[in-house]
Chains A and B, each alone.
Chain A
Amino acid sequence: MRYLNIASPVEDNELIQGCLRQDRKYQEAVFRHYAGKLMVVSLRYARHRMEAEDILQDAFIRIFDHFDQFQGKGSLEGWMRRIVVNTALKNIDKKSFSNEIIGLETTAEDASGALPSVFSQLHEEELLQLIQQLPDGYRIVFNMYAIEGYSHAEISALLGIQESTSRSQLVKARKMLQSQILESQKVAV
């Protein structure tokens, strides 16, 4: 079967029109084009690949069911990413944010210094694994703040937690990531 190819904004518009008509050919083209990028978003929020695929599946169902809500103000990819994130957040247990890991008490400045050169040598897959190994609360706040660009106020509103909790989880997530990277380098050496 030949899939539609998306290479330009014009073709992107054609794709949007096709999805608005619920045309399965265009829906499949959207899936083939964006699934890889959105899978990474889903993997960042999930604990493992199976959970990530469940999130992605639910997200695509919501995308196609509510395609008429895409107003074209931003990019189609941005809109779809937000749906994937929202789908992932739907199943979050609030208790995840009260879990503390002993030994990670730290200040906000701890992780703000220059990074050792080994950090930039890490592959994408390794970075993804490091994120997945974080406890639920740390992983979600780190993803939302550091990668998606949400503010602590927005995270607080979206997750129903205190802003101070969001800040504290972010700091601990950074600290834990740094420790894990350094630890893995020691093992490699």
Chain B
Amino acid sequence: MNPKSPLDELFRRKLSHYEVTPSDDLWDNIQLARAKKPSPSIPFWAPWLFTSLCLATLIYFSQDYLIPEQAKSTSLEEKPLQVHFTPKTGGEIPTPLPSGKTHTRSKKVAPIFKNSLPPQAAIIPTNDDIDQVTNTANLTNQTEQTDQASESTFTSFPHIATLDATLPHELSMYSELLPVPFKKKLWFAKIDFLLSQDFVQSSLTAKTPLFDTYSTLRNNQEDLKVSNSFAVRMGISTLKGWGLRSGIQYSRMSQTLTLIIPDAPHQTTSKNTFETIDIPLILTKEQSFGKLRAGFSLGTYLNMAFNQKGSFYSPGGSLIEFTSSKPGSYPAFKNRLGASLYSGISLSIPIGNSLEFIAEPYVRSRIPAISAEDYVLEQKIWYGGLFIGFRKQIGKGFYLP
């Protein structure tokens, strides 16, 4: 028991049974606030995890659906695909083969892959190989060669597995001739360097009706914000243009607020900044239209909002600083983890050896508010912008283990 002074006892005795009636509308306010309160919030990472799992599942199973029927029916027992290839030796220039015949120097590789070929079979093609494959006369189908139908052989073409990795997109049609197991596992790694100019729209909602007027004031006062982002994204994609990208993105949102302080001789301008670091996880699907490749990007961003700096009106109507790193600042913002939903349209055009120029208009919505949980307002933001940059293919195609 605490040693009490007579003064303590006096206050305790007199106030312990004392009652003060609160204002009449308090009960109504409590009901309103409870009615407006959202249902138990979903953890910030749950949408990110859910979408990531969906994307991973989709991209995994999509491989089966992407294989053309022709290729699907290919098997050892039925009509195995046979490709004839004239290997180049010395300074010899390859010549087209007469239709229906196999080149005499064709090398047999037996047995032909039934379901899969070991990853080590993926050999990077040389430029000479590509030149030869470009000549369609070198490619024939086993079905046209009845004299060799019984032979389950793969005529020497050791480098075809990674053909599409270095060919122009128009030539990817020949990848249809690749055996199914190859098509399932061939991937290409690419890296994107992107810059973007974004516009950010935010909305402020009062958590209790008491702050409705304040939220209206702030919404009217705060205009569109501008943000700049830099992103590096690594991605893997399939022959058919399905891809998965992830990396890191830094964004700095800035806002200039003109605050009219009551009784102040002039207006005050505040330059506010907000920073975020994001880890995107994006599913992409691209299609070639001549030289142009176009597609869509859908995904989620896991992000950290931090280092918020600036000032705004307090609920009391005075100018207050909310800089999150400054002790004693108004606690409107904290470093907060969150997730965003992302969608964009990707456009790319080749500009050099394995290099593409990319433009990607996008919209992004952050799911949890950027404001602190115990702040009287809830501030949510949407981004819209245009990424531009370069995409570089790293090496050749490869097989996942």
Residues on A lying within 8 angstroms of B by beta carbon are 24, 28, 31-32, 35-37, 39-40, 43-44, 53-54, 56-57, 60-61, 64-65, 90-91, 93, 95, 111-115, 119-120, 122, 124, 127-128, 131, 142, 145-147, 149-151, 174, 177-178
Encode B115-157 as 1/0 by CB contact (under 8 A) with A: 0000000000000000000000000000000000000000000
With A40-B20, A61-B34, A124-B14 as known contacts, state yes or no: A53 contacts B6, CB within 8 Å.
no
Interface string of B1-42 (1 = CB under 8 A from A): 110111110111011111111110011011101100100000
B328 at the interface (CB under 8 A from A): yes
A sample of 22 inter-chain contacts (CB < 8 A) reads A24-B31, A31-B30, A32-B27, A35-B27, A40-B15, A40-B18, A44-B15, A53-B22, A57-B26, A57-B208, A60-B30, A61-B37, A65-B37, A93-B328, A95-B327, A113-B6, A115-B7, A146-B7, A147-B8, A147-B16, A149-B1, A178-B7
**A44 contacts across to B, CB distance below 8 A:** 15
Do residues A54 and B2 form an inter-chain contact, with CB atoms below 8 A?
A: no
Interface of A is mostly: helix
Is the beta-carbon distance between B10 and A31 smaller than 8 angstroms? no
Query: What is the distance, in angstroms, from A95's C-beta to the closest C-beta of chain B?
Result: 6
Our pick among B10, B19, B31, B374 for the contact of A40 (Cβ within 8 Å) is B19
The answer to whether B5 touches A111, judged by C-beta atoms less than 8 angstroms apart, is: yes
Complex: how many Å from CA A37 to CA B17?
7
The answer to whether B46 has its CB under 8 Å from any CB of chain A is: no
In the complex, how many angstroms separate the beta carbon of B264 from the nearest chain A beta carbon? 24
A147, B328: Cβ atoms closer than 8 Å: no
Asked if A146 meets B4 with Cβ closer than 8 Å, knowing A36-B21, A122-B14, A128-B18, the reply is: yes
Complex CA distance for A174 and B15, rounded to whole angstroms: 16
Closest Cβ of chain B to A168, distance in Å, is 15
- Asked whether any CB of chain A lies closer than 8 Å to the CB of B351, the reply is no
**B interface residues, how many (CB within 8 angstroms):** 33
B210 at the interface (CB under 8 A from A): yes
Q: How far is the CA of A112 from the CA of B208 in the complex (A)?
A: 44
User: Cβ of B6: which chain A residues have Cβ within 8 Å of it?
Assistant: 112-115, 119
Q: Which residue of A lies closest to B374 (CB)?
A: A90
Q: Which residue of B has the minimal Cβ distance to A63?
A: B30
- Assembled-state Cα–Cα distance A172/B11 (Å): 16
| CB neighbours of B2 from chain A (8 A) | 145-146, 149-151
The complex places the Cα of A93 from the Cα of B19 at a distance, in Å, of 27
Most chain A beta-carbon contacts within 10 A, residue among B8, B17, B208, B327: B8
A65 contacts across to B, CB distance below 8 A: 34, 37
Q: With a CB–CB cut-off of 8 A, which chain A residues contact B4? A: 146
Q: How far is the CA of A147 from the CA of B7 in the complex (A)?
A: 10
Known contacts A131-B11, A147-B16; 20 additional CB pairs below 8 A are A24-B31, A36-B19, A36-B20, A40-B18, A43-B20, A53-B26, A57-B26, A57-B29, A95-B327, A114-B6, A119-B6, A119-B7, A127-B10, A127-B11, A127-B14, A142-B11, A145-B2, A146-B2, A146-B5, A174-B5
Choose from B11, B16, B17, B22 the contact partner of A35 (Cβ within 8 Å): B22
Partner of A111, one of B7, B19, B31: B7
CA distance A40 to B16 in the complex (A): 9
Contact: B34 with A64, CB < 8 Å?
yes
Shortest beta-carbon contacts, A-B, top 5: A36-B19, A146-B8, A124-B18, A39-B20, A112-B5
A125 to B34, CA, bound (A): 31
